[in-house]
Amino acid sequence: MSNNQTNNTREFQAEVKQLLDIVINSLYTDKKIFLRELISNAADALEKLRYTKIQNTDTYQPELPSEITIQTDDNAHTLTIADTGIGMTEEELVENLGTIAHSGSKAFLKHLTEGNQADVNLIGQFGVGFYSAFMVASKVTVYTRSYKPDADGCIWSSDGLGTYTIQKADLISRGTRIQLKLKEDCHEFAKPDNIKSIIKQYSSFVPFPIKLNGDKVNTIEALWTKNKNEISDENYNEFYKFIANAYDEPLFKIHFSVDAPININALLFFPKDHFERFGFGRMEPGVNLYCKKVLIQEKSEGILPEWLRFIKGVVDSEELPLNISRETMQDSALISKLRKVLTGRIVKFLAEQAQSNPDKYLEFWDKFQIFIKEGIATDMGRRKDLAPLLRFESSKSEPGKLVSLQEYLEGMKEGQDTIYYLNGPSRDFIENGPYLEIFKRKDIEVLYTYETADDYILNQLGDYEDKKLVSADQENIQLPETDDTDKTPDDALAESEVQELTKWMKEVLGDDVSEVRASKRLVDSPAILLSPDGMTNSMQRIMKLMNKDLNHFGARIMDINTSHPIIKKLDTLRKKADPFAEIAVKQLYDSTLISAGLSSDYKGMVNRMHEILDRALEYNQ
Ligand code: ADP
Ligand code: MG
């Protein structure tokens, strides 16, 4: 090979160095996954070439067969993976094999540096799979030539220790050949039997022939077009692992075909988990679009609504034109028809699972509820269909047990026409706060929502089966009347006293509250802060985080328990015009703020607490 026009040494980007350092020095996990990553890159490159050919026919060396060839050399301890795909230009080499561009990859790197190295298995999902070659190789050499007619051949080479070189070279045919000089403890990867079994394990469904030392090893199958009873669970699982780049099995699968209203053959999988949970940024869509087994679009954007981006799989429709472009794809009537049918199927499937397979459904709910809620928030047309999928803890469920809105309906009291929910950071917080008291006394179930977004979702939903959904911290709730629970206790303050007391308290608190009233809902607590109509504590918490002026949205109402000893003693002090009464009222207000999860002026409160302590201690001398 005549080459060596320039000998060009370059530094890896800092993040790549960091990643390589982990890959080379401190990974003890399954090294064999490097092969899956390199084969998947080779398949991508062939796929990209096929796609380019549809648009444009003057590709370089069109006669080369589309295939992946792997050579082992057990004497030289080398392994070579070659494809006849799209290849890379010099600039592309620098960009693709010297930097990390995607933000998710940076999050992945952070995750690894925090010691989560077992998860290196996921390397391919974060757009840095190529670098896994350095787990097994002391030197990686990439011979590549882009399909572009005037592109030069290039040789990229590195030992992974901070730098790489790129040389121009003649006589390289289109595509990419990656040669690994295996590390001493990795010589097993030059043995054909080992390589064959790794290919079978991870790459059976690569849609191009893979030849190992000349023999074809994979069976290229469009699994989704086969008859269901010819497909074993193992086939499905392997296929899932291949398309989802996963190492575990899917939680659910849906395999169906229909001819009306549109021809569809779909094989869809639900993963067991996802990475948005860990702050890895937004997932890409996971469904590939085919027409009669020919890939039209990978990771198709429009084929499912965004909130279903966690679904992996394949959709094949004979009605799709082969050369559809990304832009026309997005808004084509055909795609929206497909999306409608597919989404309907998925939602129906989940509803069925929730019924017939509740434990497994809850496993799904545990990890993926955020997507269902996103669907309710963003997909108006699906809102009503998604409501039955919601699950919450409730005042009548055991801790950790979840109920559906339907189950709530079935347990409703005579005369109850509203579904109540209450937001708080935990079950404990909700059950020890004042908001639940009246519901407990009247034996009315309340759903517990632990995510701040839940209130927003339920508010968007508005009602379920004609029953309104209402936050239990609203000031105007109307609970069914019951004699024994509604009458004012005999030891309560008299009506006239209450009037004077509440008027005076409002004066002390000023604009912090719009009104102080005698409560109809308190049992054990002295006071409670209620949200004006349409607003809930959790929404106020969000607005506080956003530094919004809460008074814009109507000030809160304070209800007091007129038979509570604290309130009665407070009234006695007020009548004596004792200045301590004002301190007590302000503290009472702060306590209700804490119960509402809205407190923030801790300094003022601590100083006041000291005054109160001082007085209490003096009293006890
Ligand atoms: P990902 O495949 O997720 O993009 P990788 O680290 O595996 O991440 O590869 C980085 C990039 O390098 C690819 O996106 C591709 O542009 C380029 N690349 C890697 N292998 C090949 C190959 N065999 N042929 C052409 N380009 C390749
Ligand atoms: Mg890759």
Question: 505-549: per-residue pLDDT in tens?
Answer: 999 999 889 999 999 889 899 999 998 776 777 777 777 777 666
The confidence score (pLDDT) of residue 172 equals 86
Give the helix ranges, DSSP H, for 427-509: 427-431, 437-441, 452-461, 483-486, 495-509
> Ligand 1 pocket test: which of 41, 148, 156, 178 has the largest number of ligand atoms within 8 Å of its C-beta?
41
Question: 255-274: per-residue pLDDT in tens?
Answer: 999 998 899 999 999 999 99
The confidence score (pLDDT) of residue 488 equals 78
In sequence order, which residues have a C-beta less than 8 Å from that of residue 459 and are 6 or more positions away? 469, 471, 536, 539
Give the helix ranges, DSSP H, for 285-436: 326-331, 333-356, 358-378, 383-386, 405-410, 427-431
How many angstroms does the Cα of residue 426 sit away from the middle of ligand 2?
41
Average pLDDT over the chain, rounded to an integer: 88
Question: 175-230: per-residue pLDDT in tens?
Answer: 999 999 999 999 999 999 999 999 887 787 788 999 999 999 987 778 998 889 99
Nearest of 393, 440, 435, 397 to residue 536 by alpha carbon: 435
Report the distance separating Cα 566 and Cα 570, nearest Å: 6
Point out the ligand 1 atom lying closest to the alpha carbon of residue 86: 25
Find out whether 519 and 559 touch, Cβ atoms under 8 Å: yes
Question: What is the separation of C-alpha 590 from the centre of its chain, rounded to a whole number of angstroms?
Answer: 36
Tokens read off for 387:
């409501």
Give one DSSP letter per residue of 502-538, joined into a string: HHHHHHHHGGGEEEEEE-SS-SS-SEEEEBPTT--HH
How many angstroms does the Cα of residue 331 sit away from the middle of ligand 1?
29
Q: Is the CB of 80 under 6 A from ligand 1?
A: no
Q: How confident is the model at residue 1 (pLDDT cuts 50, 70, 90)?
A: very low
Highest mean pLDDT (candidates 31-35, 98-102, 175-179, 262-266): 175-179
Q: Is the CB of 104 under 6 A from ligand 1?
A: no
- 141 has pLDDT over 60: yes
In sequence order, which residues have a C-beta less than 8 Å from that of residue 24 and are 6 or more positions away? 134, 135, 160, 161
How many angstroms does the Cα of residue 219 sit away from the middle of ligand 1?
23
Report the distance separating Cα 136 and Cα 306, nearest Å: 38
Question: 382-415: per-residue pLDDT in tens?
Answer: 999 999 999 999 999 999 999 999 999 999 998 8
Nearest residue (by CA) to ligand 1, atom 27, is 41
Q: Is the CB of 434 under 6 A from ligand 1?
A: no
Nearest of 202, 180, 205, 219 to residue 70 by alpha carbon: 180
Nearest residue (by CA) to ligand 1, atom 4, is 127
Find out whether 560 and 519 touch, Cβ atoms under 8 Å: yes
Q: Is the dihedral of CA 318, 323, 329, 332 positive or negative?
A: negative
- 326 has pLDDT over 60: no
Nearest of 89, 70, 90 to residue 80 by alpha carbon: 70
**Position with higher pLDDT, 370 vs 532:** 370
> Ligand 1 pocket test: which of 96, 105, 158 has the largest number of ligand atoms within 8 Å of its C-beta?
96
Beta bridge pairs of residue 85: none
Q: What is the mean pLDDT of the segment spanning 558-571?
A: 95
Query: Percent of the chain scored above 70 by pLDDT?
Result: 90
Q: How confident is the model at residue 127 (pLDDT cuts 50, 70, 90)?
A: confident
Q: How confident is the model at residue 28 (pLDDT cuts 50, 70, 90)?
A: low
- 103 has pLDDT over 50: yes
The confidence score (pLDDT) of residue 67 equals 95
The confidence score (pLDDT) of residue 297 equals 80
Q: Is the CB of 45 under 6 A from ligand 1?
A: yes
The confidence score (pLDDT) of residue 543 equals 74
Q: Is the CB of 424 under 6 A from ligand 1?
A: no
Question: Judging by DSSP bridges, how do beta strands 312-316 and 294-297 pair with one another?
Answer: unpaired
Report the distance separating Cα 77 and Cα 180, nearest Å: 8
Q: What is the mean pLDDT of the segment spanning 429-456?
A: 93
Q: Count CB atoms within 10 A of the CB of residue 190.
A: 22
Question: 574-600: per-residue pLDDT in tens?
Answer: 999 999 999 999 999 999 999 988 877
- 498 has pLDDT over 50: yes
Q: How confident is the model at residue 101 (pLDDT cuts 50, 70, 90)?
A: confident
The confidence score (pLDDT) of residue 5 equals 43
Residue 421 main-chain phi, psi, to 5 deg: -140, 160
Q: Count CB atoms within 10 A of the CB of residue 12.
A: 21
Q: Which contacts (CB < 8 Å, 24+ apart) does range 296-299 have?
A: 296/320, 296/322, 296/324, 297/324, 297/326, 297/329, 298/47
How many angstroms does the Cα of residue 129 sit away from the middle of ligand 2?
5
Q: Is the CB of 19 under 6 A from ligand 1?
A: no
- 2 has pLDDT over 60: no
Q: How confident is the model at residue 26 (pLDDT cuts 50, 70, 90)?
A: low
Report the distance separating Cα 123 and Cα 34, nearest Å: 9
Q: CA dist 527 to 8, 507, 537, 593, 595, Å?
A: 75, 16, 15, 10, 10
Q: What is the mean pLDDT of the segment spanning 61-80?
A: 92
The confidence score (pLDDT) of residue 27 equals 62
